[in-house]
Amino acid sequence: MLRVGIVGLGKMGLSHQSMINAHPDVKLVAVCDSAAYVLDVISKYTGVKTYSDYQAMLSKEDLDCLFVATPSRNHAAIVETALQRGLHVFCEKPFGLDPEKSFQLAELAESKGLVNQVGYHCRFIAAFTEAKRLLEANVIGELHHLRAEAYGPVVLRPQGSTWRSQKSEGGGCLFDYACHAIDLINYLVGCPRGVSGTVFNSVFSNDVDDEIYSTLHFSDRFHGQLATNWSDESLRKMSIKLSLWGKNGRINVDRQEIQIYLRTLPQPIENLTQGWNVRYTTELTQPVWFYVRGEEYSAQIDHFFQTVKNGGSSASNFRSASNASLVAAMMRKDAAREHTAVVAQGADNPETLNRPKGQKSYLERVFGGRS
């Protein structure tokens, strides 16, 4: 029996707690949070031991693994302490806000031979794993373009009082929706070597970005586009979709299904035919031992425990998560640069999009506008 602790009982921590507690190979020993009322309820009704200080929990309890689901800003310090104590660590995404620190933690975990995983659960969605398998089998040939989109309803009003609405806490669409999409891109085709034309835009938030658009450069002949927006009410929950174009066809993939178009079928590949092929989640998804909110959430937790038991490296480890943080940091840097845009005919000087506050844009000067 692996002995498990959890730090952070928000939406993710509680959902992890439910699945961990139902796992037959592990024992949930203790949980930690700063909110007294949450601890009160949890201890009274589920009987698990509670702490309000994670250091105290780590010194008093004999644990094998720690789940970290605090606001992102606290991840690094807690993860480091846990690794120093020799614990296997599962950390919620986006892992670290600072890629340099993230890579250091990846090295620390690897040097100590500890299993390390980050909750990029999209890697455990059957349709995306199928996409990865088909891309590795090169079924659509040499890739030349991809489009990654993630939309959903998180910030729909000009308010918000949690850490998710504060940049300093790791809030914003970048470290939430965009990181999921970035990690999925990295998982399927590898990291882009550069990004350009990145736009961060606030729709409702004061302090953080609500949508991000960016061009990704994988090689001279392979580019992609990322579009993420967490202020889209037309969807019930996050919807993430990738479209990939290769010289021999195209793949569209989301949580529910994978569509594969093949121009030619040079040699027989499984059940694929020339033209369109569609596979649904109902046939691709492997059963899980316990289901709360999607197989992928259960599957990632089971994968973590099996990796601890059997050895090896997690399919979503600190290193791969650091790569996602790195690409996110590249986007932030790119967006902060002075961008020169090509403007409408008749403009004497190119306008800068990031003009100083108060200065009118070219269009405002020509057509009028609020100053």
Partner 1 sequence: MAALTGSTNLKATYRESMDRILFGDNQFFGVNHMSEEKARTQAMRFQDIGAVIDVLDDVYAEGIRTFMCTTHERMQEVCDHFRANRNRYPGFKFYPCMPYAHKYANAAAERGVVGAFRSFLPEENALGALLRGGMSVARKDIEGLAALLIDAEMKMFAGLETPVVFLQNVVTDFLLGLGFDEAFRTFADHVRERYGAEPGFITMNAPFLLQRLEKIGIENPILCANINKIGFRMCGGGEAYEKLMTGGRCRLIAMSVFASGALPPQRALEYVCQYPQIQSIVFGASSRRNIAQTKQLIERLTPSEVAAQA
257 binds partner 1 (CB under 8 A): yes
* Residue 10 in contact with partner 1, rule: CB under 8 A: yes
Interaction between residue 22 and partner 1 (CB under 8 A): yes
Pairing of strands 257-262, 26-32: unpaired
| Number of residues this chain uses to bind partner 1 (CB under 8 A) | 51
Between residues 171 and 246, which has the closer beta carbon with respect to partner 1?
A: 171
Residues 292-321 interacting with partner 1 (rule: CB under 8 A): 292-293, 295
Applying CB under 8 A, does 239 fall inside the site for partner 1? yes
Instruction: Compute the least distance from the CB of residue 294 to partner 1, in Å.
Output: 10
And the tokens for 360?
């009118």
The interaxial angle of helices 99-111 and 318-336, nearest 10 deg, is 170
**311-322 residues labelled b (16+ CB within 10 A) or e (exposed):** eeebbbbbbbbb
Residue (of 188, 170, 218, 219) closest to 328 by Cα position:
170
Cβ–Cβ < 8 Å for 127, 257: yes
Q: Which of 40, 100, 107, 364 binds partner 1 (CB under 8 A)?
A: 40
If one asks whether residue 1 binds partner 1 (CB under 8 A), the answer comes out as no
Q: How far is the CB of 45 from partner 1 (least distance, A)?
A: 5
Q: Which amino acid is at 342?
A: V
Does residue 276 bind partner 1 (CB under 8 A)? no
| Cβ atoms of residues 80 and 109 within 8 Å | no
By the 10 Å C-beta count (0-12 exposed, 13-18 middle, 19+ buried), 159 is classed as exposed
| Shorter beta-carbon distance to partner 1: residue 45 or 367 | 45
Give the residue, chosen from 256, 306, 352, 361, that forms a contact with partner 1 under the rule CB under 8 A.
Answer: 256
d(C-alpha 211, C-alpha 228), whole Å: 5
Pick the binder of partner 1 from 62, 136, 220, 283 (CB under 8 A).
283
How many Cβ atoms sit within 10 Å of the Cβ of residue 257? 16
Is 357 one of the binding residues for partner 1 (CB under 8 A)? Answer: no
Q: How far is residue 193's CA from residue 172's CA, in Å, rounded to a whole number?
A: 23
**According to the binding rule CB under 8 A, does residue 353 interact with partner 1?**
no
Which residue among 199, 288, 343, 347 contacts partner 1 (CB under 8 A)?
288
Residues that bind partner 1 (CB under 8 A): 9-11, 14-15, 17-19, 21-22, 35-38, 40-42, 44-47, 153-157, 160-162, 164, 236-237, 239, 241, 254-257, 280-283, 285, 287-293, 295
